[in-house]
Amino acid sequence: MGHILKVQPVLKEKIWGGTKLRDVYGYDIPSDHTGEAWVISGHKSGDCPIVEGEYKGKTVSWMFENHRELFGNVEGDQFPLLVKIIDAKQDLSVQVHPDNEYAKIHENSLGKTESWYVLQADDGTDMVMGHYAKTKEEFIKDIEEDKYDELFNRFKIHKGDFFYIPAGTLHAICGGSLIYEAQQSSDITYRVYDYHRKGDDGKERELHVQQSIDCTKVPADLDQNKLFINTKLDHGSKTRYLKCEYLTVDHYLIEGSTEIKNDDPFQLVSVIDGEGTVNDMPIKKGDQFIICSDVDLVHYEGGLELMVTTL
């Protein structure tokens, strides 16, 4: 049968967070300012435990270190991917993430290329992605003169939108959105601008202006691919949103009994709606699990909406 590892998300409080991770997915949030669920992670800042089966209590990083064969024997000294669900009750800072080269030199970390699928969005919800500066000099000048409204590319988002955010892309999730985020396993964020917001200590939150200048791509690539590959399944459909050097992201709608061949070293699966079974294991909205490489066929039954991330 192979291994399917159900994991427990790690919840994180954020100044901009809310209660949707409890209200929508039933997670036991630590407060009414809970911003992130690291739903499948082997990162040291939020290492998810296995919740049942022979490896119950072990973490994702432990599994990757001690049973690499379950992950297709992929190379690397750390689990390569990280999946989050983000509840933005308020705007997140405008930020940028470094690429692998910069992150390795300055942070001893992987870089951070990521992607977003919009699970929910209130009417009129914005997103920031990219900027209008044509040169680094213009970019620096706008920052120094606080001309952020002129600098940032801001637009409306809707449920079901998908966005690819390569390292070096200026971006911000804005208040009123619930986001599925699939990314490289990195926790490096450089804040460019934070609305002069103050933390619990009464001081404005730390910015990383020089690092942001170093890492932001100028000029920005403001074009997003909106042509996605759709595949019909036995009883459902699959939409491929992204395949890049670091990760692959698919969306599945299952309506009945569907069998899928597993050709990946592993799959990170998030149940974003519905209920049913996977290889006879009961699953429901909010559940998170890893399909390991020793699973040849994945059999879904029920009415399910899934996000699946792999390499």
pLDDT in tens, 277-308: 999 999 999 999 999 999 999 999 999 999 99
What is the distance between the alpha carbons of residues 17 and 263, in angstroms, rounded to a whole number? 37
Query: Maximum distance among all alpha carbons in the chain?
Result: 61
Query: Residue 110 contacts by C-beta under 8 Å, 6 or more apart in sequence?
Result: 78, 80, 100, 103, 104, 184, 185, 186
According to the model, what pLDDT value does residue 223 have? 85
Residues serving a catalytic function are 191
pLDDT on residue 214 = 96
pLDDT attached to residue 205: 87
- Write out pLDDT tens, residues 225-251: 788 999 999 999 999 999 999 999 999
What is the model's pLDDT at position 93? 95
**Using CB atoms within 10 A of its CB, is residue 132 exposed (0-12), middle (13-18) or buried (19+)?**
middle
pLDDT of residue 222: 87
Average pLDDT by consecutive 10-residue portion of the chain (311 residues)? 95 97 98 98 98 97 98 96 98 96 95 97 96 96 93 96 97 98 97 89 91 96 88 96 97 97 97 98 98 97 98 97
Q: What is the pLDDT of residue 225?
A: 78
| Measured distance CA(240)–CA(192) in Å, rounded | 31
Sequence-distant (≥ 6) Cβ neighbours of residue 77 within 8 angstroms: none
Check residue 309 and give its pLDDT.
98
Pure H helices in 175-254: 209-215
The model's pTM is 0.95
